[in-house]
Amino acid sequence: MTTAAGRFAPSPSGALHVGNLRTALLAWLFARTTGRAFRIRMEDLDRTALGADAQQLADLATLGIEWDEPVIHQTDRLDVYRSVIAELTAAGETFECFCTRREILEAPSAPHSPDGAYPGTCRTLTAARRAEKIAAGRPPAIRLRTAVDEFTVIDTQLGEYTGMVDDFVICRGDGTPAYNLAVVVDDAAQGVDQVVRGDDLLSSAPRQAYLATRLGYHRPGYSHVPMVLGDKGVRLSKRDGAVTLGDLAAAGVSTPIVLSRIAESLDLAEHGEIVDAATLATRFDPAALPRDPWIVTPDIWG
């Protein structure tokens, strides 16, 4: 795919809550108001719920968010990821890592490593030592042998951001390709040059941009948008109560009201104004977006 595109890439582990829907709407607005295609990707390498992908697509459509086909599932692309991992390994750009999370945290160099960076424990293991660990029954993860300690990205909302890049995992010990590899490969394959997502993922951008550079891909631009928090000030989740379209509908809150409250939180609608996605596109100005988190309380829907 060569058409420039934005994307929304949910994990189909359950119904989307209003925080997910707000980010999806923003990703759609960024893409459509800049003449881009809009892709949907189901990031289903981890835990999923049966039928969640179809429900998520239905919820997006109900809000007026349309997308360009096809919708892809990462589990359909395992051979693609494994081919990239094999190419990096053949070029000597990876190494096997036998460390558990606890061992990484307790490593002597760990306290001096920034932001939980991998301390390099297995980077120089001898072939004999690797064979010993494999014989002991510990399956290795595969880490990228990086050549930098940090990398800088430019974010349209947050400006220049320099973050840590360590020897990060690109294939887990169970053989599953890691998120940081899959997302980079998929964005390149789908023509995604605009990544809009929650600002809790900002710290992953340097690793992903660095890997894209290593693979010879065009690096996407980034726009990390404020999170949606529950009334306790932590990231919104289904534990906060009625926060999915289905649960809100059961409580008497219609989808147009949900969309309008989301629009209000983005300063794209007046309080109580009923709007649709197409109208929001005519009002959208990325530079005017709020920079603070949106706090969702139970009484917000009244």
Q: Which long-range contacts (CB under 8 A, 24 or more apart) does 285-290 make?
A: 286/30, 286/156, 286/157, 286/223, 289/26, 289/157, 289/225, 290/226, 290/265, 290/266
- What pLDDT shows up at residue 177? 98
Kindly list the distances between the CA atom of residue 284 and the CA atoms of 105, 215, 279, in Å, as whole numbers in the listed order. Answer: 44, 34, 9
Contact criterion met (CB below 8 Å) for 167 and 147 = no
Q: Which residues of 26-59 are buried (b: 16+ CB within 10 A; e: fewer)?
A: bbbbbbbbeebbbbbbbbbbeebeeebbebbbeb
Read off the pLDDT of each residue in 130-142 and give the average, rounded to a whole number: 92
Among 111-115, 118-122, 212-216, which is the least confidently predicted range?
Answer: 111-115
Tell me if the domain spanning 5-70+226-301 has CATH number 3.40.50.620.
yes
The one-letter amino acid at 197: R
Higher pLDDT, 152 or 113: 152
Is the predicted pLDDT of residue 1 greater than 80, yes or no?
no
- What pLDDT shows up at residue 42? 98
- Going by pLDDT thresholds of 50, 70 and 90, the confidence category of residue 227 is very high
Read off the pLDDT of each residue in 60-86 and give the average, rounded to a whole number: 98
- What pLDDT shows up at residue 302? 79
- Going by pLDDT thresholds of 50, 70 and 90, the confidence category of residue 242 is confident
- What pLDDT shows up at residue 233? 85
Is the predicted pLDDT of residue 109 greater than 70, yes or no?
no
Contact criterion met (CB below 8 Å) for 42 and 80 = no
- Going by pLDDT thresholds of 50, 70 and 90, the confidence category of residue 184 is very high
- Going by pLDDT thresholds of 50, 70 and 90, the confidence category of residue 241 is confident
- What pLDDT shows up at residue 117? 86
- What pLDDT shows up at residue 2? 56
Is the predicted pLDDT of residue 111 greater than 60, yes or no?
no
Is the predicted pLDDT of residue 107 greater than 80, yes or no?
no
Is the predicted pLDDT of residue 153 greater than 90, yes or no?
yes
Read off the pLDDT of each residue in 26-47 and give the average, rounded to a whole number: 97
Fold equal for 5-70+226-301 and 79-180 = no
Determine if the peptide bond prior to 70 is cis (ω within 30°): yes
Q: Can you give the residue ranges of every domain in the chain?
A: 5-70+226-301, 79-180
Is the predicted pLDDT of residue 212 greater than 90, yes or no?
yes
Is the predicted pLDDT of residue 166 greater than 70, yes or no?
yes
- What pLDDT shows up at residue 113? 59
What would the CATH number be for the domain defined by 79-180? 3.90.800.10
Write down the mean pLDDT value for the chain.
94
Give tens-digit pLDDT for 263-273: 999 999 999 89
- Going by pLDDT thresholds of 50, 70 and 90, the confidence category of residue 72 is very high
The C-alpha atoms of residue 14 and residue 236 are separated, in whole angstroms, by: 14
- What pLDDT shows up at residue 102? 84
Is the predicted pLDDT of residue 116 greater than 90, yes or no?
no
Kindly list the distances between the CA atom of residue 146 and the CA atoms of 85, 137, 167, in Å, as whole numbers in the listed order. Answer: 14, 27, 5
- DSSP secondary structure string, 133-191? HHHTT-PPEEEE--S-SEEEEEETTTEEEEEE--S-EEE-TTSPBPHHHHHHHHHHHTT
Is the predicted pLDDT of residue 108 greater than 90, yes or no?
no
